[in-house]
Amino acid sequence: MPHSNRQQTYGQVLEEVRQGQSTRRHLYEKLESVLDDKYFVVSFFTMFGHPRVLLDDADADMLEELLQNSGIKDRELLLVLNCPGGDALAAERIITICRSFSKNGYSVMVPKQAKSAATMICLGAKQIMMSTTSELGPIDPQIGYRDSQYAAHEIIESYEDLFRKANKTRGRIEPFLQQLNRFDARDIRWMRSAQQLSESIAVQALSTGCMKGKRQSTIRIKIKPFLKPKFTKVHGRPIYHDIAEKSGLNVKLFDINSEVWKIVWQLYIRLNHAASGHRGAKIIESKDDHYVSPMPPFPEESDQ
């Protein structure tokens, strides 16, 4: 018997050190309880830092598998989302999945950062729960181009600026042609399509969600801070709750000292530790189920 107890204690300590799912189960139960059991809480957590770990189609499959086996029943899905972004089409799939399992719409809670394609998932929600330090971000595409990472609009604008100068010059045109040779017109066309795709997904998500009934032209104007890079200047700059509210999003603001947010913060810290360790880079879980995707090989990094 003493030997059995020592093994149990040792196992518990290992689970706490590596922050296994069992160490967070009570936080999901507490969060659902303080929210009056209205919500079925699921975390979708992707690590930041290096190597960057981005949203992709496999994540949508993991989320759907979890929800297929869940006890969500008639409750509303509350997605606790922390992610740097990734594939826009994967984000669109996740919106569809969340709406399919939460018939009256789903809500998103952002403990820290939901950027780029993750912001698109927030735009598909009926409500976005935030604190004053929660961050959304612009949804303009970032492109891996010539072994570097650029905002698509920067490449397109550089190309168009050179083209205009070449057309207007009355002197030697060769310097402009030499620089234009660095671009491929097919790449520029593809980047414009990527911009249009991001905007289309965002506007469609809002027109069938929290901005239902509004014209798409009106929605585009309202969400300019998310669509127009000139507003944030750089892609990584945060968009906080005040700008999100002014953009017409349904934001529920929590005091960072409230009981709810203290639970959410504990969940964030534990998930961040688990995702940053050897267990995996992406975690999708509820109080009952747990899915982890493997850490991508270091030091390779996706250029999506």
Res 289 pLDDT > 60: yes
pLDDT score at 296: 57
Give the confidence band of 172 by pLDDT, cuts at 50, 70, 90. confident
CA 157, CA 191: separation in Å to the nearest integer? 11
Least confident of 3-7, 154-158, 212-216, 289-293: 3-7
Give the confidence band of 299 by pLDDT, cuts at 50, 70, 90. very low
pLDDT score at 47: 81
Give the confidence band of 1 by pLDDT, cuts at 50, 70, 90. very low
Highest mean predicted confidence (pLDDT) among 5-9, 13-17, 180-184, 200-204: 200-204
Res 279 pLDDT > 80: no
Query: Once rounded to an integer, what is the mean pLDDT over residues 100-109?
Result: 96
Kindly list the structural domains of the chain, giving each domain's residue range(s) and its CATH number in brackets, ordered by start.
13-137+238-293 (3.90.226), 140-232 (no CATH)
Query: Residue 189 burial by CB count (10 A; 0-12/13-18/19+): exposed, middle or buried?
Result: exposed
Query: Once rounded to an integer, what is the mean pLDDT over residues 146-175?
Result: 84
Q: Above pLDDT 70, what percent of the chain?
A: 86
